[in-house]
Amino acid sequence: MFKIQTLNNISRIGLERLPAGQYNVASDQTDPDALLVRSADLHKIEIPASVRAIGRAGAGTNNIPVAEMSKRGVPVFNAPGANANAVKELVLAGMLLSSRNIPDALAFVSTLPEHADAHHAMEAEKKRFVGSELSGKTLGVVGLGAIGVRVANAARALGMRVFGFDPHMTVDGAWQLSADVVKAGSLNELYAASDFISFHVPLNDATRGVFKAESLQVARRGVVLLNFARDGIIDAGALKAGLDDGTIGRYVTDFPSKEQAVHPRVIGLPHLGASTAEAEENCAVMVVDQLRDFLENGNVLNSVNFPNTRMAREGKARLCIANQNRPGMIGRLSQVLGEAGLNIAQMHNASRGELAYTLVDIDSPADAAALETIAAVEGILALRVV
Ligand SMILES: NC(=O)c1ccc[n+]([C@@H]2O[C@H](COP(=O)([O-])OP(=O)(O)OC[C@H]3O[C@@H](n4cnc5c(N)ncnc54)[C@H](O)[C@@H]3O)[C@@H](O)[C@H]2O)c1
Ligand SMILES: O=C(O)CC[C@@H](O)C(=O)O
């Protein structure tokens, strides 16, 4: 029986893919085999030594200590693209909320009961909320992954001119991107050209403060910034300065700080990008399926720290070995298996950065002593038999 601990609400449709006879799923568990999370901050808790895998029902993994998990030989899975459409739709809503002054107009409408002649008040005051159209405006998209590509293509369909910047874009992403999207040579080129700038990058050391004080010098006056990626992508000091002096016309964000939440130029939402029934289900189904295949077969798909590794089952048992990626590991493993009298039916090894992962199907079950000897090989981070 595998024990899965859920640290957030995970879509029931996803959880139903874990058979009750084989999986015990609960928010409270002792010695769980795996954790299932959405935005729970795992940097703030001690992750039990029993944990063999972590599943993130979403895209961003900055709430998970991925580097520490790699050292423990624990894969972290996510659900790439599974909530991208939901975020794209909210970004489009964000552009419209800002361009048509919708929050201010809604606030005014809520005061109508105070007016003797509501119809007259409406017609008299509507000039305060005159907006502008998206068609013909320029959008800059920073990060052309699952969300950025969709946002760029949707903006093109609305008649916008689109600049994109992503030095690490994948070939698949490039295939999906509208050919009309202009490749910006630098962030500053994109900032200088854009009426709207939408950020779709993961939060890491390279992207923290990707819009900063110097960016204000090149940005168009009145630019609308949309941040549905993470708090921290836009430097807080630069943002405040830009909002206060009007360089930034609006800041539409899924991550408002307390100060930003009450700023008249900020449109804040409570991290709603992926909060649709469809996205929650897509993410849960994808990550649960990946977690199950790892726990039951050792296969790896869509991990952010392990290489994709898949092998059809053969033999009597499978060893799943995470090890440091250094010369001689496979040779040493084969030697130890041979000395333990274990014949290899088939084997697959893949590496990613400093970590390597090996699946070994063996023709006879391994006893406890043999497993102990294998686990003791220098450089082995984790060993499981499935
Ligand atoms: N608001 C929400 O609810 C919500 C939902 C999903 C994702 N997100 C956030 O959005 C981020 C992006 O999601 P995604 O699904 O598009 O991820 P993704 O991995 O498909 O795309 C990220 C893109 O950013 C690019 N990138 C990385 N560093 C860059 C840099 N320095 N400059 C320019 N581009 C860079 C990558 O090459 C990649 O193409 C996630 O990491 C997450 O933080 C938020
Ligand atoms: O789970 C959520 O609601 C948010 C997920 C989102 O931030 C992500 O990175 O996928």
Rounded to 5, what percent of the chain is helix, strand, coil?
35, 20, 40
Is the same domain home to 131 and 192? yes
Q: Which atom of ligand 2 is nearest to the CA of 254?
A: 7
Is the same domain home to 110 and 217? yes
Written as tens digits, the pLDDT of the chain (386 aa) is: 999 999 999 999 999 999 999 999 999 999 999 999 999 999 999 999 999 999 999 999 999 999 999 999 999 999 999 999 999 999 999 999 999 999 999 999 999 999 999 999 999 999 999 999 999 999 999 999 999 999 999 999 999 999 999 999 999 999 999 999 999 999 999 999 999 999 999 999 999 999 999 999 999 999 999 999 999 999 999 999 999 999 999 999 999 999 999 999 999 999 999 999 999 999 999 999 999 999 999 999 999 999 999 999 999 999 999 999 999 999 999 999 999 999 999 999 999 999 999 999 999 999 999 999 999 999 999 999 99
Identify the CATH number of the domain in which residue 56 sits: 3.40.50.720
Question: Could you tell me the two tokens for 10?
Answer: 């995970």
Please list the active-site residues: 230, 259, 271
What's the 62 CA to ligand 2 centre distance in angstroms?
11
Ligand 1 probe mutation, 142, 147, 191, most atoms within 8 A of CB: 147
Max intra-chain CA distance, the chain: 93
Is the same domain home to 77 and 148? no
Whether the CB-CB separation of 48 and 28 falls below 8 Å is answered with no
Q: Which atom of ligand 2 is nearest to the CA of 61?
A: 9
Determine which residue's CA is closest to atom 9 belonging to ligand 2: 60
Is the same domain home to 100 and 226? yes
Is the same domain home to 217 and 364? no
Is the same domain home to 236 and 93? yes
222: left (phi over 0), alpha (psi -120 to 50) or beta: left
Question: Could you tell me the two tokens for 125?
Answer: 């005051």
Is the same domain home to 120 and 263? yes
Is the same domain home to 355 and 298? no
Identify the CATH number of the domain in which residue 339 sits: 3.30.70.260
What's the 371 CA to ligand 2 centre distance in angstroms?
39
Q: Is the CB of 249 under 6 A from ligand 2?
A: no
Ligand that lies nearest to the alpha carbon of residue 174, given by its number in the listed order:
1
What's the 58 CA to ligand 2 centre distance in angstroms?
5
Q: In the chain, which ranges are E strands?
A: 2-6, 23-26, 34-37, 53-56, 76-77, 138-142, 161-165, 182-183, 196-199, 223-227, 248-253, 266-268, 317-324, 344-352, 355-362, 380-385
Closest alpha carbon to 288 in 22, 9, 11:
11
In total, how many domains does the chain have? 3
Q: Is the CB of 78 under 6 A from ligand 2?
A: no
Is the same domain home to 176 and 49? no
Is the same domain home to 282 and 263? no
Residues 6 or more apart in contact with residue 219 via CB below 8 angstroms: 191, 192, 194, 197, 242, 247, 248
What's the 73 CA to ligand 1 centre distance in angstroms?
25
Whether the CB-CB separation of 274 and 283 falls below 8 Å is answered with yes
ipTM for the complex shown: 0.99
Is the same domain home to 138 and 240? yes
Is the same domain home to 76 and 89? no
Question: Could you tell me the two tokens for 373?
Answer: 């000897």
- In terms of DSSP bridges, do strands 317-324 and 223-227 run parallel, antiparallel, or are they unpaired? unpaired
Domain that holds residue 123: 84-268
